[in-house]
């Protein structure tokens, strides 16, 4: 839940003890429900047969899930916002997206907009960030040579008793390439995020009516052999030039979307994931776990299906390889 905790802190600040965990648990349940309710197949069905939208919800197999998801959505929409509002009133609120909003002149209409904005930031960022970090760990287990090269780059740039920080980033291009490849290898949203056309349009001779659901096939982009030879293999070097420079900035990655609807939180994802990956590689060796008989537990890149994919649960082993950096990391975690 680390990714979710960071996003909660940015969006809502420091919540009361126990409440953050409760909100995170509800959010994970809601995300799983949405995975079952909103699928690419159903989106295509409603686009092809728009009259289905006029049918009552009980006509569909997901009727009970829809009701439960609405309850959870209302809870997550209102409760964290109201808690921060109370903190602002009694002077105990910490800096966050919501406190910045509440400190400015606003009316009820603004509040009705801000609540779903915060909710969307929280829900969208939590699941995708967690998925990207899980894919990173999976890749490090399956491709130890990549892990060794990344750690060698960190050790060459950063003192042995210091943690890598964002000031070191310009000197660590291979780490950036790893994160770009994580997003390419298994994009979190293989068909992108569904959007709808605001007006009637014509593209390449095809008429596209207003309200048509449009999805970008990110999976096809990620498997384009003309750009990514041997696309099923995890290969960060495909994102580097011959002189070891990043070909394209991380925030321009196709996994963030395109145009006006590009992910507004991509800078947050960039910095938080870079910091997490750099810290993990600087301190820990990630390897295959072993069973009770000492045999290596094999791992395969198996993923769930749906609008958002994530790695199936897998076993791995973390081993500290730098006690000095481990001490710095523990001190930072304890200070928070």
Please give the share of the chain, as a percent, with pLDDT higher than 90.
Answer: 48
Residue (of 182, 64, 76) closest to 134 by Cα position: 182
Provide the 3-class DSSP secondary structure of residue 308. Answer: coil
Mean local confidence (pLDDT), 279-303: 95
- Torsion sign across C-alpha atoms 30, 32, 36, 39: positive
Task: Print burial letters for 86-95: b (CB count within 10 Å at least 16), e (below 16).
Answer: ebbeeeebee
Residues annotated in a binding site: 263
> What are the tens digits of pLDDT across the range 181-196?
999 999 999 988 888 8
pLDDT value of position 64: 61
pTM: 0.83
Overall domain count for the chain: 1
Q: List the domain range (segments joined by +) for residue 324.
A: 2-335
> What are the tens digits of pLDDT across the range 143-180?
999 999 999 999 999 999 999 999 999 999 999 999 99
| Residue 105: pLDDT over 70 | yes
Contact criterion met (CB below 8 Å) for 246 and 181: no
Cα–Cα separations (whole angstroms), residue 198 to 201, 209, 212? 9, 9, 8
Nearest 10 degrees: CA dihedral of 53, 57, 60, 62?
Answer: 120
- Region of poorest pLDDT, from 12-26, 63-77, 251-265: 12-26
Round the average pLDDT of the chain to a whole number and report it: 86
Q: CATH code at 154? A: 1.10.630.10
| Residue 237: pLDDT over 60 | yes
Contact criterion met (CB below 8 Å) for 288 and 296: yes
Residues annotated in a binding site for heme: 263
| Residue 104: pLDDT over 80 | yes
| Residue 1: pLDDT over 60 | no
Which two structure tokens, joined as six digits, stand for 164?
A: 């890598």
* Other beta carbons less than 10 A from residue 229's beta carbon: 10
Contacts of 103 (CB under 8 A, 6+ apart): 88
Contact criterion met (CB below 8 Å) for 128 and 188: yes
Contacts of 243 (CB under 8 A, 6+ apart): none
> What are the tens digits of pLDDT across the range 46-93?
666 666 666 666 556 555 677 778 888 888 888 888 899 899 889 888
């Amino acid at each position: 839940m680390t990714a979710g905790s960071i996003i909660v802190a940015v969006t809502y600040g420091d919540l009361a003890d126990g409440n953050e965990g409760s909100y995170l648990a509800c959010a994970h349940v809601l995300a799983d429900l949405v995975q079952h309710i909103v699928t690419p197949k159903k989106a295509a069905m409603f686009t092809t047969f728009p009259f289905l939208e006029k049918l009552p919800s009980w006509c569909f197999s997901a009727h009970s899930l829809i009701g439960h998801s609405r309850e959870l959505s209302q809870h997550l929409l209102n409760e964290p916002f109201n808690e921060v509002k109370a903190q602002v009133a009694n002077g105990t609120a910490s800096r966050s997206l919501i406190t910045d909003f509440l400190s400015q002149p606003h009316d009820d209409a603004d509040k009705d907009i801000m609540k779903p904005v915060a909710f969307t930031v929280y829900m969208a960022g939590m699941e995708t960030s967690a998925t990207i970090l899980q894919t990173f760990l999976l890749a490090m287990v399956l491709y130890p040579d990549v892990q060794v090269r990344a750690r060698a780059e960190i050790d060459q740039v950063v003192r042995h008793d210091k943690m890598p920080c964002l000031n070191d980033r310009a000197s660590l291009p291979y780490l950036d390439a790893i994160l770009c490849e994580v997003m390419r290898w298994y994009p979190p949203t293989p068909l992108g995020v569904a959007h709808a056309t605001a007006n009637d349009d014509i593209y390449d001779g095809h008429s596209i009516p207003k309200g048509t659901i449009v999805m970008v096939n990110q999976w096809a982009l990620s498997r384009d052999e003309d750009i990514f030879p041997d696309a099923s293999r995890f290969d960060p070097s495909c994102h580097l030039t011959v002189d070891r420079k990043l070909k394209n900035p991380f925030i321009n990655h196709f996994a963030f979307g395109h145009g006006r609807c590009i992910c507004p939180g991509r800078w947050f994802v960039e910095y938080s994931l870079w910091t997490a990956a750099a810290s993990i590689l600087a301190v820990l060796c990630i390897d295959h776990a072993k069973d009770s008989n000492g045999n290596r537990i094999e791992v395969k890149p198996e993923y769930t299906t749906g609008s958002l994919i994530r790695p199936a649960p897998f076993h791995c082993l973390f081993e500290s390889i730098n006690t000095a950096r481990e001490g710095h990391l523990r001190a930072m975690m304890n200070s928070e």
